[in-house]
Structures are given as C-alpha cells and as structure tokens.
C-alpha cells in the first residue's frame, strides 16, 4: 500500500545519569532510584521526528514507549516535550531484574499493544520501531535484534541515516568492516546511533504543549503477560566495584616533557 500511515514507536529508556556515579545495590541490580532519559535514545527520537517532518503526504505518528520503574514516566514526558505525539509506560514489579531475554518478551507485547491501539485517519498503518544503539547502562545492544525476532519484523542495527520511501525505509549503517545502504520493509526495528543527527531541545512552547499529550500506563497483566513469562534467563551473582582510578604524577612542561614521558614509559617497561 503506497503512503499507508506510519506509526513510529520509539523506545526510550530511563537510566541512571552517566555523568554521576552509577552503582549496583545489595541485590546485584543497578540502582535505579534516580534517572534521566538515556542520551542514546534522543537520536532515534530525533530521527522519528525528522521522518515525520519530511513526510508531507503521509500521516506519521511518533509514539514514545518506555519500560521501567515508576520514575521512568519522566523519560516519556521528556520525549513528549521533545516532540513525540503520545506516550506509553510499561511498569510492573515483575520486571525488576529483567535481562535481555525478558526485556524483549515484555517489549514485544508492549509494541503490539501500542500498535494495535492506535487509530489513523488515512487507513491501516504500518509500524516502525526505533531504538537507541544500546542502553546506557547495559550497553549490550542486543535488544533490537531480539525484539525484531519476536515481532517477526525486519531489523537493521546501527543506523547512521534514515530516509522514508513509499514502501520502504532506506538506512545507512556502519557494519563491522563496511558501510552499507540497505532498504528495509515494514514492520521493522531499526537501532539508531549518535552519528545519525543532532537531537533538538524542547522549547517553552513544546514543554507546555506536552502537558496535554496522552501518557498511558500499563502493567504486564494489561498486556496479557504473567510474571513467569518474563523471568530472566540470566542472573547476576555478584558485583564488585573496581577501585576508582586515581591521578598519578602530573608535571608541567618545561621544555622536556616529551623526554620525561619516554623515561616514564621506559621505567614502567612499556616500550
């Protein structure tokens, strides 16, 4: 179908601020008592907004979806301020300690629910899921492929550029040893890197407008999932903080610092 409406669902994660000290708690879980919208999720959101703005003859909706503890609604609210049309938050105590496997099970059900709930004026929509290249704290980058596998969707990871065509999305990506341009059909999951764009900041008007945008909260039961279905396959047994790096010897160059570095390297047997 040419120019079917497009529903872009962007996954936004609430993560501990990387600028501050991040730590594990006594249950070997990352301390999530405070957080921010992951910087790495601002790029897919910006990509979604740019696709919407470029599609003059097409109905495009940008939905922000998060899964996380109660506080994660702040990530969705920020996404609404930046420009998403509506937001969803999946929150449930059974998701505490979710691993990659459990996360993708829950997100699959959430994406399907969100896609199913949306109504479009111009017909049956196609959907596209955009994600960041990795989560800021787990950094595995494995969720997009797992989510796609579960949704039966196509997947392209590490996108550095996206362009919408009537029946497909053109994606530039950097594979391991080559740069690639690929065409992908919907439904698709595409992870977007920080090379793709420069995310915008919300202005005052957008912040005010966001207050009127809908934010829907749901639990696992609302998605028809039981706690056993999201039990993690991987358990963290122990965590140990590395001794923080401390500053060593700092000198000011007096015309011989190059020599001094080489002396240091020789002394440390690094030459």
Partner 1 sequence: MSNVLVFFDVLGETLSFTQRELIAQAQSLGEVHIAIGAYQGDPTPALAISGVGEVYLAEASLPAPEVAVVDLLETAVAECGAEVILGSSTADVTDALARLAVRLDTGIICSIAALTGELLATKSELAGSYTTVSQLAPGLSRPLIATFRPNSLDPQRVDALLDAGDQPDGTVLPVRPSQGGVEVLHREALKVSARPALAEARVVVAGGRGVDGDFTPLEELADELGAGLGASRAATDAGWIEHAAQVGQTGVTVSPQLYISAGISGAVQQRSGMQTAGTIVAINKDEDAPVFEIADFGVVGDLHEVIPQMIEELRRRKG
The site for ligand FAD (CB under 6 A) is made up of 39-40, 194
- Nearest of 111, 198, 194 to residue 151 by alpha carbon: 111
Does the protein bind partner 1 through residue 207 (CB under 8 A)? Answer: no
User: Are 62 and 80 spatial neighbours (Cβ–Cβ below 8 Å)?
Assistant: no
Cα separation of 14 and 148, whole Å? 21
For ligand FAD, which is the closer residue by CB, 31 or 39?
Answer: 39
User: Are 90 and 73 spatial neighbours (Cβ–Cβ below 8 Å)?
Assistant: no
For partner 1, which is the closer residue by CB, 119 or 253?
Answer: 253
Q: How far is the CB of 203 from partner 1 (least distance, A)?
A: 24
Q: Which of partner 1, ligand FAD, none does 22 bind, CB closer than 5 to 8 A by kind?
A: partner 1
Q: How far is the CB of 149 from partner 1 (least distance, A)?
A: 4
Length of the chain as a residue count: 271
- Nearest of 92, 83, 109 to residue 8 by alpha carbon: 83
- Nearest of 205, 117, 124, 141 to residue 11 by alpha carbon: 141
Residue with nearest beta carbon to ligand FAD: 39
Q: How far is the CB of 62 from partner 1 (least distance, A)?
A: 23
Residue among 122, 123, 181, 214 that touches partner 1 (CB under 8 A): 181
SS3 category, 258: helix
Instruction: Name which of residues 105 to 164 contact partner 1 (CB under 8 A).
Output: 133, 136-146, 148-150, 154-158
For ligand FAD, which is the closer residue by CB, 50 or 219?
Answer: 50
């Amino acid at each position: 179908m040419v120019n079917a409406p497009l529903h872009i669902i962007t996954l936004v994660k609430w993560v501990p601020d990387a600028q501050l000290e991040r730590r594990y708690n006594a249950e070997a879980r990352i301390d999530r008592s405070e957080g921010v919208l992951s910087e790495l999720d601002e790029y897919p959101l910006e990509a979604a907004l740019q696709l919407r703005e470029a599609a003059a003859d097409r109905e495009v909706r940008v939905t922000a979806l998060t899964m996380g503890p109660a506080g994660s609604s702040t990530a969705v609210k920020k996404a609404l301020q930046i420009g998403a049309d509506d937001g969803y938050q999946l929150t449930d105590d059974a998701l505490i300690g979710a691993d990659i496997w459990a996360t993708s099970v829950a997100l699959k059900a959430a994406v399907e629910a969100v896609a199913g709930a949306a109504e479009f004026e111009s017909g049956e929509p196609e959907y596209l899921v955009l994600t960041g290249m990795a989560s800021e704290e787990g950094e595995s980058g494995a969720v997009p492929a797992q989510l796609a596998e579960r949704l039966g969707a196509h997947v392209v990871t590490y996108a550095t550029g996206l362009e919408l065509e009537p029946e497909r999305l053109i994606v530039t990506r950097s594979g391991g040893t080559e740069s690639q341009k690929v065409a992908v059909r919907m439904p698709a999951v595409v992870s977007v890197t920080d090379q793709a764009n420069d995310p915008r900041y919300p202005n005052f008007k957008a912040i005010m407008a966001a207050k009127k945008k809908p934010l829907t909260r749901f639990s696992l039961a609302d998605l028809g999932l039981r706690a056993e279905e999201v039990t993690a396959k991987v358990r963290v047994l122990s965590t140990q903080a590395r001794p923080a790096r401390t500053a060593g010897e700092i000198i000011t160059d007096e015309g011989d610092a190059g020599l001094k570095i080489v002396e240091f390297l020789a002394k440390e047997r690094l030459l």
